[in-house]
Structure 1
Amino acid sequence: MPRRDLYAVTVIVLSGILIFSVPLVHGIGLANDTLLHLVWLKDFVVSVENGYFIPRWLPESFNGLGSSTFYFYPPLPYYLGTVVTLFFDFEITRLLSVVTMLLIIFSGLSFYSLIRDKLSNNLAILFSLVYMFSPYHFIVDVGVRCALSELSSFIWYPIIFRSIIDIPTNKFSLITLSLALSGLFISHTISFLLFLPFWVSFLVFVSINSSRRSEFLFAGVFSIVICMLTTAFYWLPMVYYLDEIHASFWYNLDELIAHSFVGNTDKYDYGMQKNIAPIIDMVWLYLLSFLVFYFFVVYGTSKSGYGYFLFFLSAIGLFLVTTLSSFLWDFFYFAKRVQFSWRIFSVVEFLIIFSFAMHYKEVGVYLRRSRVFQYLLYFLLMIVVFYYIKLFSTYMVTVPQLKEAKALQIKALESSYGAEEYVPKYSDNKFREELESLSVDPVSFDESKVALKNLNVDHNLWKLEMEVLSPSEVVIKQFYFPTWKAINARTKESITVYPSTNEGLVTFEVGHDDSYLYIYIDVTPIEKYGIIISLVGLFLLFFLTVRNRQRIQFGMKGY
């Protein structure tokens, strides 16, 4: 590694560790989604330790009733937590702090790789630090929301843009672009959908200004195909089982979207929006201010189309989070799946910081020409610093608060309460409302017909030994999901599994011959197909990598 890169990596890593020094010692604060990620991270790590290398069902969620979370939720940040546990034995609250810190650090390193060739080393480091600790990225996604998956999306934006820029010169950029898109998809699928029109627009723009348009077109199509192939293990079961979860959360999407626009005065009355609305408005104003300033700089000095086009993309992003764009969200049904319109801030923040980095010299030239704009920039920076300090002091909590938050987190972990939208759909409303305080026997049956001799639960595998006096119904303490399977351990015959009437728990009929039973989460054909397709995608990437190396080694043109 060149000395300049080693220096940059050292500064970025140490900056991340310094900022997270208190949470690393005392645990992360109690943000909106902290408890969810603690529960999911704990159960995910335990699942991998038990040999489920693609965890989908979390048996300890919802007070031991189980959850289908990872049939639907992107898993990559949780794999990072699992990798950390291979080297360090952190308790779960500290592990979440470590994972959050690593995601921030990786985003800084990613941004540095994007701009290292465009600026001096110190300036590249400075812009990378700005990207790491920008208001939406750091204050909102870490301090306010603990949005672990959205945090990880910031890693992939710079890599995607760098790969597009390098298509004519770097023979491996096609492979890097494919992997980055795949990483974004299984980090935060919503961010993947939001970022899709932005990076495609950038690719088309760059290709128009290049004599090698066919290479750009091929790269765009090929990378999307490879992304869909390599991530099939995740999205194929997700789509297949989407109707199997309780959908009350999704029914409220219209209301959720309606209250999430900047400029909507009603949003302060809607749940989480009451807390986050002021900071969202502030982020919008700060980004808008810099965008307006940037326009004058580009208009006055830019000789490359990059400046105008990045300004155009950023302006579209800011427009999409205001009430003025509400008609677009109604027109595009899939857009409502993003839940909150202001998620686009993650994309806009990246675009504006990248724009300033790309045109830093032009900004300097323009400032030297006009004292008015010098003072305007200083004024904007003072406002940003003032609000940043105010927000930092509000949301980056003190040590006593962290200790109090940790006590609440440990209490929540005892019941492993999950997110309502991932409850299987078969339980009734009353049962779902009582989940936190619910007490259910591990196995329920008619004692006049069945006697339980032995019960052994090994994560997602239940082993029952019973004496069946007459045919009866047996219920185990796990939510029903179509992937549950029951077999007679002796005859290997399958037993039909179905949801109980009100609770939606795993239920099956036993007869005289069903003394030994295995009940477990099965790997269904759709999951196997997804895994096979993903392996095919990875094989294609490996083949192209090896092939490219061989062609370049012999002086031939790579793909």
Structure 2
Amino acid sequence: MLFFNLNQFKFRYLFIFCSAIIIIAFFPLLAFGVRSGHDLPTHLSWFLSVRDIFSSGFSYPRWLSDQMDGMGAPTFYFYPPFSTFFSVLVDLLFLGKLPPDRVIGISAFFMSVLSAAAFFVWARNYTDKKIAILVSTFYAVAPYHLLCNFYTRAAIAEYAAYIWIPLIFCGILKVLTSDKKKWVLILALSVAGIFLTHLLTAMLVGPIAFVYSLLVAFSENKVSKLDPKKIFLLVFSSAIGIGMSALYFVPALSLFDQIDSSMLFQVAIEQTALFSEFSLANFAKFEMVLSLIVIIYLSFSIYCLIECKMSSARITKASGYFAVFWLLVAALATAAMAGKMMFLFQEPSPLRKIQFLWRILSVVEFSAITLFLVVISNLQSSAARSRIVLLGVLIFASFFLLQNFSSYKFIKKEKNDRTELFGKEMVKYRLSPTEYFPAGTTLSSEPGAIAHRLGAHLETAFIGQVESGDAKIITATRSGAKFLIKVDAREKSIVSIHQFYFPGWNAVDEKNTVLPVLPVTADKLVGFEVLPGVHQISIERTTTNAEAKGNWISIISFTLFILLAVYFTVQFQKKRKIA
């Protein structure tokens, strides 16, 4: 039988085979770098900005002063930092010798390898390492994960979030069912990781993880009475993980009204429902590809349970609960993507913010692959297992060929594509998307014309300018987000600098007197008021109250994490000495 033929292969040969599969899937990225994707110019622009700031010795640069052609953007107040910072670390690993597009391509490869390793750990709860590495390889190059999220959309943060999903569910399982305390720490890191990688994926995974933890607790309690300490450790670990990521999400949530967030929701979430225009005539359309992927996953999940029902030796009752759970997750998620559960996405639900219903496909993908593991690891019928494995292999092969056809087709025009990519206005002028403009700006919000929105500011960047009153700027210098302006004012005047307004700007004069900072001009530039006389004004970014709160929560949570790690280590050493 197909299922048992794996026994004739040594694990190291399967490892080499799976490594080759991943390398084949990523060869265009490894050889030539990234070339296309809906959000690629944006991520490339951010990478360039963060890399420059890191090279100056700064850490966690929330404000990118060189964005918007030098007018600045609060990008990493709102966008999770992990994926961009990861690419900068990869750049450091290669000593800055690679072009940015190749750095991002190699970063994506490493992220996929990490997601495969994470899923391998999760899969080992259900099966031996040979099956686990094969299924983990599929997870690493699964169609929504790689083809849609990376090659098509270049949604790098959502793509990177796949690293943490298996570790979160594995952490829940291990904390509640084993005595290995390391999983309390791994779960905390994984929860922090998904928040710092993609907040929207965390919002989708969170409710499912909560229900899963209840199911695990219920199942464990039926076998042997569940220790209440494990429930406490689960809650405590999750809370620490959320707390460690507070340095990101507290400012993001607190300052959301300071940017033009309406640009995030130009398309109503109801309009992103799948299957609304389902037609084979639209086969090549992105939404159609997503619909077909969902149908295949859900159909395969249902088939797995049908095989369980038909098999003369069914899976155990406990495993059956989990099989049904993962099928329900996939089915309900599919219904939600089809727009059949819109009450979940109405105000004041935070799920309203996910923008696109088809983002839930990450949940379907994880659920379907996990259901496959649950079923094949519990069925006693070798014939049923072989049929399920064979069908799984055919699905994988089809997906693999489809996305390789899509990713390899640009290789012949590699040089032209690279020139075109770096010539795009988003990269050339380091432009952040429209939602990072300050709230209330009169700059045009016409989609797809960011360079034109900045108008005369492009290529004519100034440092300081008198907006009102009788004054003259004597000297003006700039270093990143720090400005030094000498002003000779004959009367009370308003002076602006070439940066967008956002909370956190601080201005002081030569006497160290704090000056009020406010948005001035229709474009909402940073401005300050000067009194008559000659003044030396220093303007720079300082920590906002929201940042300070988030930082303190993270510091406290990280301290608790370290103390917990030390306590577990001491306890482990004591047990070893006794043994």
- TM above 0.5: yes
Match of 1:455 in 2: 476
Match of 1:435 in 2: 453
Match of 2:570 in 1: 550
Match of 2:506 in 1: 485
Q: Is 1:263 aligned with 2:275?
A: yes
Q: Is 1:405 aligned with 2:426?
A: no
Q: Is 1:368 aligned with 2:417?
A: no
Q: Is 1:44 aligned with 2:62?
A: no
Match of 2:372 in 1: 356
1:452 deviates by: 3.4
How far apart in 1 are the matches of 2:347 and 2:476?
53
In 1, are the aligned partners of 2:474 and 2:487 still within 8 Å (CA)? yes
- CA gap 1:58/1:397 in 2 versus in 1, 3 angstroms: farther
In 1, are the aligned partners of 2:275 and 2:288 still within 8 Å (CA)? no
- CA gap 1:394/1:431 in 2 versus in 1, 3 angstroms: closer
- CA gap 1:274/1:463 in 2 versus in 1, 3 angstroms: farther
1:503 deviates by: 0.9
Match of 2:81 in 1: 75
Deviations 1:467-503 (A, max 9, x none): 4444422222111112112111x21111111112311
How far apart in 1 are the matches of 2:441 and 2:474?
29
Instruction: Name the stretch that deviates more: 403-412 or 185-194.
Output: 403-412
How far apart in 2 are the matches of 1:359 and 1:492?
69
Deviations 1:437-482 (A, max 9, x none): 4335412226994443433221111122344444422222111112
Match of 1:287 in 2: 297
Match of 2:353 in 1: 337
Deviations 1:104-134 (A, max 9, x none): 1110111112223543333221111111111
1:13 deviates by: 5.5
1:14 deviates by: 5.7
How far apart in 2 are the matches of 1:10 and 1:215?
42
Match of 1:106 in 2: 114
What amino acid sits opposite 1:108 in the alignment? A
- RMSD across aligned C-alpha pairs, in angstroms? 2.9
How far apart in 2 are the matches of 1:507 and 1:426?
15
Match of 1:537 in 2: 557
What amino acid sits opposite 1:169 in the alignment? D
Instruction: Name the stretch that deviates more: 460-469 or 339-348.
Output: 460-469
SS of 2:521 mapped into structure 1: coil
Match of 2:235 in 1: 221
Once the two structures are aligned, what percentage of the paired residues are identical?
22
What runs of 5+ residues in structure 2 fail to find an aligned partner? 1-9
Instruction: Name the stretch that deviates more: 544-553 or 379-388.
Output: 379-388
In 2, are the aligned partners of 1:298 and 1:307 still within 8 Å (CA)? no
SS of 1:20 mapped into structure 2: helix
Instruction: Name the stretch that deviates more: 4-13 or 170-179.
Output: 4-13
What amino acid sits opposite 2:276 in the alignment? N
In 1, are the aligned partners of 2:28 and 2:408 still within 8 Å (CA)? no
What runs of 5+ residues in structure 1 fail to find an aligned partner? none
Instruction: Name the stretch that deviates more: 57-66 or 445-454.
Output: 445-454
- CA gap 1:383/1:199 in 2 versus in 1, 3 angstroms: closer
- CA gap 1:215/1:152 in 2 versus in 1, 3 angstroms: farther
Match of 2:3 in 1: none
Q: Is 1:115 aligned with 2:128?
A: no
How far apart in 2 are the matches of 1:83 and 1:331?
39
1:73 deviates by: 1.0
How far apart in 2 are the matches of 1:78 and 1:213?
41
SS of 1:51 mapped into structure 2: coil
SS of 1:297 mapped into structure 2: helix
- CA gap 1:6/1:332 in 2 versus in 1, 3 angstroms: farther
How far apart in 2 are the matches of 1:267 and 1:471?
66
- CA gap 1:315/1:367 in 2 versus in 1, 3 angstroms: farther
How far apart in 2 are the matches of 1:145 and 1:136?
10
SS of 1:43 mapped into structure 2: helix
What amino acid sits opposite 1:554 in the alignment? K
SS of 1:227 mapped into structure 2: helix
In 2, are the aligned partners of 1:181 and 1:227 still within 8 Å (CA)? yes
What amino acid sits opposite 2:535 in the alignment? S
Q: Is 1:298 aligned with 2:314?
A: no
How far apart in 2 are the matches of 1:7 and 1:83?
31
1:29 deviates by: 2.2
SS of 2:507 mapped into structure 1: strand
How far apart in 2 are the matches of 1:469 and 1:143?
58
Deviations 1:336-369 (A, max 9, x none): 1111111111122112112212332445x54615
| Residues matched between the structures, number | 543
1:176 deviates by: 1.2
SS of 2:495 mapped into structure 1: strand
- Using the size of structure 2 for normalisation, the TM-score is 0.86
1:213 deviates by: 5.2
Instruction: Name the stretch that deviates more: 538-547 or 329-338.
Output: 329-338
- CA gap 1:395/1:6 in 2 versus in 1, 3 angstroms: closer
In 2, are the aligned partners of 1:245 and 1:422 still within 8 Å (CA)? yes
- CA gap 1:388/1:556 in 2 versus in 1, 3 angstroms: closer
How far apart in 2 are the matches of 1:521 and 1:8?
53
- CA gap 1:377/1:524 in 2 versus in 1, 3 angstroms: closer
In 2, are the aligned partners of 1:65 and 1:479 still within 8 Å (CA)? yes
How far apart in 2 are the matches of 1:13 and 1:453?
62
Match of 1:515 in 2: 535
Match of 2:406 in 1: 394
What amino acid sits opposite 2:545 in the alignment? P
Match of 2:339 in 1: 323
Q: Is 1:143 aligned with 2:151?
A: yes
Match of 2:209 in 1: 199
How far apart in 2 are the matches of 1:498 and 1:13?
55
Q: Is 1:164 aligned with 2:172?
A: yes
1:86 deviates by: 2.3
In 1, are the aligned partners of 2:443 and 2:523 still within 8 Å (CA)? no
Match of 2:90 in 1: 84
In 2, are the aligned partners of 1:485 and 1:520 still within 8 Å (CA)? yes
- CA gap 1:36/1:455 in 2 versus in 1, 3 angstroms: same
How far apart in 2 are the matches of 1:202 and 1:334?
20
1:387 deviates by: 5.4
SS of 1:259 mapped into structure 2: helix
Q: Which runs of 4+ in 1 moved over 4 A?
A: 4-15, 376-384
How far apart in 1 are the matches of 2:56 and 2:485?
19
Residue 64 of structure 1 is aligned with which of 43, 55, 70?
70
- CA gap 1:527/1:51 in 2 versus in 1, 3 angstroms: farther
1:406 deviates by: 2.0
Deviations 1:11-42 (A, max 9, x none): 66665444323223322021111011111122
